[in-house]
A and B are shown apart, each in its own frame.
Chain A
Amino acid sequence: MPGAFIPPILIGLPLLGAIFVMCTPKGESSLHRGIGLAFAALTFLVSLGLISFFNLRNPGMQMLFDVEWIPGLGAHFKTGIDGFSLTLVILTTFMMPLTLWATAHTIEKHTREFIVAMLVLEAGMIGAFVALDVFVFYVFWEVMLIPMYLLIGIWGGQRRLYASIKFVIYTMIGSLLMLVAIFYVYAKHGEVTGIYTTDLEALTKLALPYEAQVYCFGAFALAFAIKVPLFPLHTWLPDAHVEAPTAGSVILAGVLLKFGIYGFLRYAMPLFPHGAQVLAPYIAILAVVGIIYGAVVAFAQDDVKKLVAYSSVSHLGFCALGIFALTDQGIEGSIFAMLSHGLTTGGLFLGIGVLYERRHTRKLAEYGGLWKQMPVFAGLYLIVVMGSAGLPGTSGFIGEFLSLFGTFNAQETFPAVAPNYLPSPRILGALAATGVILGAVYLLYMFQKVFFGPIDKAKNGRLPDLNGRELSVFVVLAVSIILMGLFPRQILRSMEGTTKAFLSSYSTRLAEPDGPPHIFGQLPAPAAGALSANELKQTLGKLADDAAATNRALQAAAGTGATGAGGGAQ
């Protein structure tokens, strides 16, 4: 397949870079940064190749790469790209060089290890986005943990030990239950077909009993909900963000959180459609709670980083709500919101980094009146803030609008399959929409506290404005945010086909009747003479109908007879 080698190359390049950096002598920090940046930039350039090979008319997997990895297990190193992963991969490869360029010079100790951790993290993230084999996905999913743990633990703030361990343990507990569900699907698929494989496409063809689907989806959903993070599993996020160095925060918010939503779309929902259907209302409600809770709590923070961390809880709630609306607009809006959130929240954290470098504090109360000192920064940061708040004309608006729109439309789209799909989607949508207003409130509050008002702290009096490096970063971000807001069509088009295919396959799979594990569409016929409960009901109903009809006919006959007789008697 054309371009099949690009995804593996995208995984390999950062790893190669990591090996290169490891081979350079310690202490040559500018060399380490240079190599790291070069490899990250090269990865970005190669990832643009994905766009040229991407066929908009093909809703399925493209650029498939498939080699056998572990024959005894049936695991293949299989990667590919579709409308869901294309933009997310490019977001990853875009954010990484930007982050390295913007923040690597602030890392003073262990520069070499820092670059290695970032590059390995990038390889893990790309791998998890392009993997099409549950085993490969799981490996990459876990591989991402260790570099992030090191990033928080080595280059983090005061309470970094606590935050790094909390991050790992939280994620591990979720992902290990997912592992059990993977075992279960794997074993059932092997039992039914005789072929033991971890290939996602093959496993998706398996239809499990409804009850098992609910448990398996629950296990997957726990892993992904922790990653998103959905309320009330979000408590690791503020700690991790506050303690992580700027680069860690940017990547964590910009890319890592997206794996929760992506996991639902790629794995949990296609594998267990019925389980998704049963649990969707709960997840949607939690998402709405998260949207409002995150916004309210963000407003109460006096630490800027914590504020932005809680704003992520709120923003990712829109994405979760959008996918479980199961409408075209909902899913596309959700992915678009993720891309936008990657840029805007990444930008917010980078801005906090800029401030922190100058003042070494993150307390809101310590700032004020910076507009006069740093007008360029203030102007560019305003665009980022507006993008995050979802002002029309910025990227944030498109994503939030579409996912809310999708939610409003939820009930009408799926009446045939599941009438009670979302409990009162309009109310959920309306509640979620308050999150947009609250978002504007806390973000503007933050902006006002930092940039407006008099300069009442002497230290704020002589802050230098953005230097060339910072300027370039913020210009790139601001331009992307506005471009995405003005021309969303190009990006949305890339996911249209995949979304439609996803929804149609989801609804056909949802209509699959309950039964023992079987290949989709091939429900084994019940043994001769045995009737399933459903058929029994139908047969009984038919018999009853027949009896009633006969009765009516008899009565009618008797009636006419009687009248006839009566008539005759008259």
Chain B
Amino acid sequence: MSTFNVGDLGYMVPYLILAIAGMLVVMAEAFFKGSDRSALSGLTVVGALASTVSSIILVRQLGADERHVLLGGMLVADRMSYVLAAVFAATTAATALISPAHQREHGWQNGEYYGVMLLSASGMVMLAHASDLCTVFLGVETMSIGVYVMTGLRRRSKRGNEAALKYFLMGAFATGFLLYGTSNLLRMQSALASTSNPGLVVAGGFLLVIAFGFKVAAVPFHMWAPDAYEGAPSPVTAFMAAAVKAGAVAAMLRLFGTALGGDVLPFGTLGWASPLVVIAALTITFGNIAAVRQENLKRMLAYSSISHGGVLLVGLAALGLGSATADSAIVFYLIAYCVTTIGAFSVIIYVGSAKRERLLVEDWAGLAGRHPAAALAMTVCLLSLGGMPPTGGFFAKFYLFKAATEVYDGQLLWLVVIGVVNSAVSIYYYLRIVTAMYFREANEPFSPTRSTALVLVMGLCAALVLELGLMPGFWLRLVG
């Protein structure tokens, strides 16, 4: 088991950079005087970008089928793990870029925020590498605990406290399921020879599905998400919606794609895939219908993110049922989804100010007349979330549903129909925002949060969203 090899560290560079940078930031915080913590944000961006770059270098070095087992089987390094690591690290960098402006504007300049963010991201990278149930557990907890803290950082905000508490309690609840499921499966491993009990194993698979259902906010385990999204500061919401959701999906991808894939379970992958398809159908539908009725933008995006989680679950089910392209489709979807989400939230942060956060749909009336670039960026992101061409969101959905259609005997065809019909529903509420921005007149002038970094992220994300939709070939080669 414990065969530590110094060479393994080379494959863990993206993870190590994030973890070390996180600890450095926490230490550096102690030396700061005054309230300005933007320098820490710079350090975080540097660390996260270094991790991104090292991941990309490793992706290019590894062959398509190359696979390294690290730390005696605890971690695995292949191209997918580094693509995912790059996504997490880049999302972290983007979040760190958009945070200082929000912190300054809304007066919550906690330096530990950045350290915790980096450590949480290191947990995600661990999930991307996970090949052992214990690693999965460690990764999930490292990721989640950091985010609980980030959610509750605005100590004086009642909403923030409520959100953090809810998030934490639900997360702890999910941890219970995760641990119990893990122990059931580990029992199978140890007792494989003698008294293997298929019931326990199937129950283990179910429990893991429930635990991750909480983490990706799948219906009916989604109740915490809208409150947590609304109560957390906007950059944290962006981080939660993009990176944390991607982290949980990455863990499922690892777990269900390798450990529980194939014939390990008594009923093969059907043991977990059959509850998963039901959950996916519920999640997509409920998330969308609930989003239609939301007036608050952050709540709307929370429900929309729930339904996007459902679409990702369709991809995971397709993976379990043997679709050859499902894993690359999921990774591509995660890339497009993270870019789009960060872009949308950066516009939200830009438009809001300390006096008026402008979180209601009607607050956005007439934005196109006053700030056309921001309105355009938001429109691109919203169209991408709704899956309209020529955006990345469209191609991601196209590719993922295509993978689900390829499942043997068209078993998931009904789920694909549910998915695409829901896309039409989702267009309705995304276009509500576009309608407000373009078709209505502004009541009062906007006082946006000025920040170069924010504008940079906004423009970059919008450009990337279009690039992902027009030239997805490059990205497909990366993930395929």
Please, which residue of chain B has its CB at the minimum distance from the CB of A155?
B439
Interface residues of A in 159-180 (CB under 8 A from B): 160-161, 164-165, 168-169, 172-173, 176-177, 179-180
Please, which residue of chain A has its CB at the minimum distance from the CB of B408?
A191
Report Cα–Cα, A120/B388, bound state, in Å.
15
Query: Per-residue CB proximity of A177-191 to B under 8 Å, as 1/0?
Result: 101100110110011
Q: In the complex where A154-B439, A169-B428, A176-B423 touch, is A183 in contact with B405 (Cβ < 8 A)?
A: yes
Please, which residue of chain A has its CB at the minimum distance from the CB of B404?
A183
In the complex, the answer to whether A142 meets B439 with C-beta atoms within 8 Å is no
Interface residues of A in 220-243 (CB under 8 A from B): none
Is residue B401 within 8 Å, beta carbon to beta carbon, of the partner chain? yes
Is residue B262 within 8 Å, beta carbon to beta carbon, of the partner chain? no
In the complex, the answer to whether A173 meets B390 with C-beta atoms within 8 Å is no
Is residue B358 within 8 Å, beta carbon to beta carbon, of the partner chain? no
Is residue A495 within 8 Å, beta carbon to beta carbon, of the partner chain? no
From residue A196, how far is it (CB to closest CB) to chain B in Å?
9
Name the B residues within 8 Å of A72 (CB-CB): 328, 472-473, 476-477, 480
Is residue A70 within 8 Å, beta carbon to beta carbon, of the partner chain? yes
Query: Per-residue CB proximity of B353-388 to A under 8 Å, as 1/0?
Result: 000000000000000000000000000000100001
Name the B residues within 8 Å of A73 (CB-CB): 399, 402, 472, 476
Report Cα–Cα, A567/B49, bound state, in Å.
114
Interface residues of A in 429-467 (CB under 8 A from B): none
Is residue B162 within 8 Å, beta carbon to beta carbon, of the partner chain? no
Contact of A180 among B388, B399, B420 (CB under 8 A): B420
In the complex, the answer to whether B435 meets A164 with C-beta atoms within 8 Å is yes
Please, which residue of chain A has its CB at the minimum distance from the CB of B397?
A179
Contact of A172 among B328, B427, B438 (CB under 8 A): B427
Name the B residues within 8 Å of A190 (CB-CB): 406
Name the A residues within 8 Å of B420 (CB-CB): 176-177, 179-180
From residue A262, how far is it (CB to closest CB) to chain B in Å?
19
Please, which residue of chain A has its CB at the minimum distance from the CB of B417?
A180
Is residue B177 within 8 Å, beta carbon to beta carbon, of the partner chain? no
Is residue B398 within 8 Å, beta carbon to beta carbon, of the partner chain? yes
In the complex, the answer to whether B427 meets A153 with C-beta atoms within 8 Å is no
Contact of A138 among B389, B428, B473 (CB under 8 A): B389
Is residue B27 within 8 Å, beta carbon to beta carbon, of the partner chain? no
Report Cα–Cα, A160/B440, bound state, in Å.
11
Interface residues of B in 403-427 (CB under 8 A from A): 405-406, 410, 413, 416-417, 420-421, 423-424, 427
Is residue B350 within 8 Å, beta carbon to beta carbon, of the partner chain? no
Report Cα–Cα, A172/B390, bound state, in Å.
15
Please, which residue of chain A has its CB at the minimum distance from the CB of B469?
A139
Name the B residues within 8 Å of A139 (CB-CB): 389-390, 394
Identify whether the interface residues of A are mostly helix, strand, loop, or mixed.
Answer: helix
Name the A residues within 8 Å of B423 (CB-CB): 172, 176
Contact of B416 among A71, A135, A149, A180 (CB under 8 A): A180
From residue B418, how far is it (CB to closest CB) to chain A in Å?
10
Is residue B460 within 8 Å, beta carbon to beta carbon, of the partner chain? no
Report Cα–Cα, A69/B423, bound state, in Å.
25
Q: In the complex where A139-B390, A142-B394 touch, is A71 in contact with B427 (Cβ < 8 A)?
A: no
In the complex, the answer to whether A165 meets B428 with C-beta atoms within 8 Å is yes
In the complex, the answer to whether A179 meets B401 with C-beta atoms within 8 Å is yes
In the complex, the answer to whether B410 meets A184 with C-beta atoms within 8 Å is yes
For the complex, count residues of A whose C-beta is within 8 A of B: 35
In the complex, the answer to whether A70 meets B438 with C-beta atoms within 8 Å is no
Q: In the complex where A71-B476, A186-B402 touch, is A168 in contact with B413 (Cβ < 8 A)?
A: no
Is residue B431 within 8 Å, beta carbon to beta carbon, of the partner chain? yes
Is residue A146 within 8 Å, beta carbon to beta carbon, of the partner chain? yes
From residue B351, how far is it (CB to closest CB) to chain A in Å?
20
Please, which residue of chain B has its CB at the minimum distance from the CB of A72?
B476
In the complex, the answer to whether A70 meets B472 with C-beta atoms within 8 Å is yes
Name the A residues within 8 Å of B439 (CB-CB): 153-154, 160-161, 164
Report Cα–Cα, A179/B399, bound state, in Å.
11
Query: Per-residue CB proximity of A131-150 to B under 8 Å, as 1/0?
Result: 00001001100110110011
In the complex, the answer to whether B472 meets A173 with C-beta atoms within 8 Å is no
In the complex, the answer to whether A71 meets B405 with C-beta atoms within 8 Å is no
Interface residues of B in 424-444 (CB under 8 A from A): 424, 427-428, 431, 435, 438-439
Report Cα–Cα, A84/B420, bound state, in Å.
30
Name the A residues within 8 Å of B388 (CB-CB): 142, 145-146
In the complex, the answer to whether B435 meets A153 with C-beta atoms within 8 Å is yes
In the complex, the answer to whether A179 meets B398 with C-beta atoms within 8 Å is yes
From residue A539, how far is it (CB to closest CB) to chain B in Å?
31
In the complex, the answer to whether A177 meets B402 with C-beta atoms within 8 Å is no
Q: Which residues of B contact A (CB under 8 A)?
A: 328, 383, 388-390, 394-395, 398-399, 401-402, 405-406, 410, 413, 416-417, 420-421, 423-424, 427-428, 431, 435, 438-439, 472-473, 476-477, 480
Q: List 18 A-B contacts (CB under 8 A).
A: A69-B473, A70-B473, A71-B476, A72-B477, A73-B402, A142-B388, A142-B394, A149-B431, A160-B439, A165-B435, A176-B421, A177-B421, A180-B405, A183-B402, A183-B405, A186-B402, A187-B405, A187-B406
